[in-house]
Amino acid sequence: MPFGQTDALRYYQFDFFSNNVLNAVFTRHGGVSPEPWTSLNLSVSVGDDPARVAENRILAFNALGRNPASIHDAWLVHGTDVVHAEAPRSLDGPTQKADIIFTSNPRVSLFMRFADCVPLLFHDPKRHVIGIAHAGWMGTVRGVAEASIKAMQERYGSKPGDVVVGIGPSIGVDHYEVREEVAAQFRDRFGADSERILQTREGRIHLDLWTANALQLQKMGVEQIQISGLCTACHLEDWYSHRAENGKTGRFGALMALT
Ligand SMILES: [Zn+2]
Cα–Cα distance measured from residue 52 to residue 17, given in angstroms and rounded to the nearest whole number: 31
Residue 235 alpha carbon to ligand 1 centre in Å? 7
Residue 62 alpha carbon to ligand 1 centre in Å? 30
Total structural domains in the chain? 1
Torsion sign across C-alpha atoms 175, 45, 23, 39: negative
Residue 228 alpha carbon to ligand 1 centre in Å? 13
Q: What is the pLDDT of residue 168?
A: 98
Q: What is the CATH number of the domain that holds 51?
A: 3.60.140.10
Residue 109 alpha carbon to ligand 1 centre in Å? 29
Residue 177 alpha carbon to ligand 1 centre in Å? 11
Torsion sign across C-alpha atoms 138, 170, 104, 43: positive
The predicted model scores a pTM of: 0.98
The per-residue pLDDT for range 194-247, each reduced to its tens digit, is 999 999 999 999 999 999 999 999 999 999 999 999 999 999 999 999 999 999
The per-residue pLDDT for range 108-137, each reduced to its tens digit, is 999 999 999 999 999 999 999 999 999 999
Confidence of residue 1 (pLDDT cuts 50, 70, 90): low
Of 62, 18, 23, the C-alpha closest to 40 is 62
Segment 31-56 shows an average pLDDT of 98
121 is in which domain, residue-wise? 3-258
The answer to whether the beta carbons of residues 99 and 79 sit under 8 Å apart is yes
Residue 179 alpha carbon to ligand 1 centre in Å? 18
Residue 230 alpha carbon to ligand 1 centre in Å? 8
